[in-house]
Amino acid sequence: MEFRLIERIRARTMQGREDVRLGIGDDAAVLAVPVGQELVAAIDSMVEGVHFPVGTASADIGWKSLAVNLSDLAAMGAMPAWALLALTLPQAEPAFIEGFTEGFAELAQSYRLALVGGDTTRGALTVSVAVHGFVPPGQALTRSAAQPGDVIFVTGTLGDAAAGLHCLQANVQSSAHGDYLIGRLNRPTPRVQAGMALRDMAHACIDVSDGLLADLGHICVASGVGAEIDASLLPYSSAMLGLFDDVSARDFALGGGDDYELCFTVPAARAADTQANLARLGCGGTRIGRIVEGQGVRVRDAQGHWLDAVRRGWEHFSV
Amino acid sequence: MEFRLIERIRARTMQGREDVRLGIGDDAAVLAVPVGQELVAAIDSMVEGVHFPVGTASADIGWKSLAVNLSDLAAMGAMPAWALLALTLPQAEPAFIEGFTEGFAELAQSYRLALVGGDTTRGALTVSVAVHGFVPPGQALTRSAAQPGDVIFVTGTLGDAAAGLHCLQANVQSSAHGDYLIGRLNRPTPRVQAGMALRDMAHACIDVSDGLLADLGHICVASGVGAEIDASLLPYSSAMLGLFDDVSARDFALGGGDDYELCFTVPAARAADTQANLARLGCGGTRIGRIVEGQGVRVRDAQGHWLDAVRRGWEHFSV
């Protein structure tokens, strides 16, 4: 079934990109990276029951399998171009395939992304996507460039996906707020435009896939610095605040994963500019703390007390 | 476990490639395609129980998961450069990981291939590898360039992997011949050097992954031509001839998959040169038939009679 299924999905993604010299239908794709650009590449897998609950709509699986990869490109400041898709399915069920195709293609189209290769195999539901994008030489954002004195920002709002998963798992009564949070879990928005805009503003950048503490911890380790967060500055959606108290919201934001917002650091002198630029992009950017000498991530409450990560159950997220 | 495992494998593949600007450890790799080269990219998955028998040694799984992808690059005439690895495992068993790493790295090293990204997830054993290589602009080999009058060649010997699988499944008594065939199944040799050498000799090219009839059928469809094969010319290993009669060997060669030899077509005037070049490369090349006007693949026996694909059980391989 390899070509038929992959070809069906391809037909719904971007057609006629000039940099695709030979697309699906041969042993491999032939591609042309634009002159003067570096290639940025990542691969991520999603497994049913691990990365999305059993019963997730296939359109959401298609969307999310691409979104989590585009989020990796966003964290590098790269412009998306091409994807390869390896899809393992228990059986070739038409409704599943139609839904998957729709979700994958909808997101691909908004970035002019072309599906240039793929493979379908039979087995437990697993989706691996490799994405490729471009960045001007030397301008890729990394985890390792944070400096003491930098201001720490995040895009969007935090904790929504973890709160959405809680709504699903605890069978919280259906509501507009709950639907919003579940939508944030199932259809995350990769912050591609923000990542590209940050190329000449940010020092370090990462996407929040494992939770803010864990991912900011990665920046700290890679950069050889520490970080201080003011919990009172964490940005929440109105759905979050409508359904959960402050303490729950804070726990979702700090420890929960799957948000796919960007966490990045900028020199203090650029902080106001950065905020204005991100506001123009629509996703917004919120200052949540600062980079300091030392190591590790510490969180301070509104009264200025340091929170105890161990007691709060975040210790397995600390680095 | 993502970074530790992927980092361990990376440490055993090629280090210090200049075209890897940023390797494993960030959200994505940053890569530089050499000026004046096109990028060739493919992805393939292997699922336990589908692409390799349950109980296959993990070193063989590591080797084969990369080999089948390098074979796709070989079929395009590309030089391998980088790989991304998505590994789904039921548990992080040290012996499995050590073996997988060894097999993957052994093959990677022989092509100076760098592992530049990866993802590990928990689930049913599934290995997806995306490979990237380079080819001079316009020189990629394709399935669609065969012309009537071309001579059809294959590298190496055919049917060994299918015969090896038969030995495994039928519990054929262990022997040097049987071990050789099982080795061909578990550790296929991607014909990378042959593929690169064929860039300016071959018209069409494909790797034999689904069986000669099926794969040559793909060339015929893509090129709008037919093909005639002389069964008496099919190249067999001495292990095959030592264990199986001619009819079984022919069935393995025509219908069996997993050989990862190259099947390609060259203008008749270049056939002698081609044969000499492939002999120098060590894998050898054998003329097995010719491209004709029309469509489909026909097979003729030593007496000149056309074989009946339906009666022989190959009909599901025909196109």
Residue A133, C-beta contacts closer than 8 angstroms, at least 6 positions apart:
A39, A40, A41, A73, A76, A78, A79, A80, A81, B28
B275 in reach of chain A (CB within 8 A): no
Contacts of A123 in chain B (CB under 8 A): 47-50, 124, 126
Residue B92 sits at the chain A interface (C-beta within 8 Å): no
**Is any Cβ of chain A less than 8 angstroms from the Cβ of B121?**
yes
Interface of A with B in 204-263 (CB under 8 A): 206-207, 222
Interface test with A, best of B44, B70, B128, B264 (most A CBs within 10 A): B128
Asked if B1 reaches chain A (Cβ–Cβ under 8 Å), the answer is no
Are residues A32 and B40, on separate chains, in Cβ contact within 8 Å?
no
DSSP readout, A15-79? Answer: ---TTEEE-BTBSSEEE-PPTT-EEEEEEEEEEBTTTB-TT--HHHHHHHHHHHHHHHHHHHTPE
Instruction: Please tell me which residue of chain A has the smallest CA distance to B87.
Output: A45
Give the end-to-end CA distance of chain B in Å, rounded to a whole number: 44
Asked if the Cβ–Cβ distance from B128 to A123 is below 8 Å, we say no
Write out residues 140-169 of B within 8 Å (CB-CB) of A.
140, 142-144
pLDDT beneath 50: ranges in chain A: 1, 316-319
Do B41 and A84 lie within an 8 Å CB cutoff? yes
Q: Measured between CB atoms, does B36 come within 8 Å of chain A?
A: no
Q: Which of A26, A64, A139 to mutate to test the interface with B (most CBs of B within 10 A)?
A: A26
- Please list every residue in chain B whose beta carbon sits closer than 8 Å to the beta carbon of residue A262: none
Digitized pLDDT (tens) for each residue of chain B, 319 residues in all: 455 778 888 888 888 899 999 999 899 999 999 999 999 999 999 999 888 888 899 999 999 999 999 999 999 999 999 999 999 999 888 899 999 999 999 999 999 999 999 999 999 999 999 999 999 999 999 999 999 999 999 999 999 999 999 999 888 788 999 999 999 999 999 999 999 999 999 999 999 999 999 999 999 999 999 999 999 999 999 999 999 999 999 999 999 889 999 999 999 999 999 999 999 998 999 999 999 999 999 999 989 999 877 556 555 444 3
- Say yes or no for a CB contact (<8 Å) between A88 and B45: yes
CA angle A273, A280, A82 (to 5 degrees): 105
Chain A interface includes B42 (CB < 8 A): yes
**Does the distance separating the beta carbons of B25 and A128 come in below 8 Å?**
no
DSSP for chain B, written as a single string: -HHHHHHHHHHHS----TTEEE-BTBSSEEE-PPTT-EEEEEEEEEEBTTTB-TT--HHHHHHHHHHHHHHHHHHHTPEEEEEEEEEEESS--HHHHHHHHHHHHHHHHHTTPEEEEEEEEESS-EEEEEEEEEE-TT---BSS---TTPEEEEES-SSHHHHHHHHHHTTPPP-HHHHHHHHHHHS----HHHHHHHTTT-SBEEE-SS-HHHHHHHHHHHHT-EEEEEGGG----HHHHHHS-HHHHHHHHHH------EEEEE-GGGHHHHHHHHHHHSS-EEEEEEEESSSEEEEE-TTSPBP-TTTTT-GGG--
Cα dihedral: B141, B147, B151, B155 (round 10): 20
User: Which chain A residues are closer than 8 Å to B36 by Cβ?
Assistant: none
pLDDT value, residue A314? 59
Of B41, B50, B119, the CB nearest to A28: B41
- What integer pLDDT is reported at residue B313 of this predicted model? 55
Provide, as residue numbers in chain B, all residues whose Cβ is less than 8 Å from the Cβ of A71: 27
Beta strand A262-266 pairing with A296-300: unpaired
Question: A 174-213 residues with CB below 8 A of B?
Answer: 206-207
- Chain B 93-112, residues with CB within 8 Å of chain A CB atoms: none
At B108, list the tokens. 């990677």
Task: Give B-chain residues touching A75 at CB under 8 angstroms.
Answer: 26-28
Residue B38, chain A, CB below 8 Å: the answer is yes
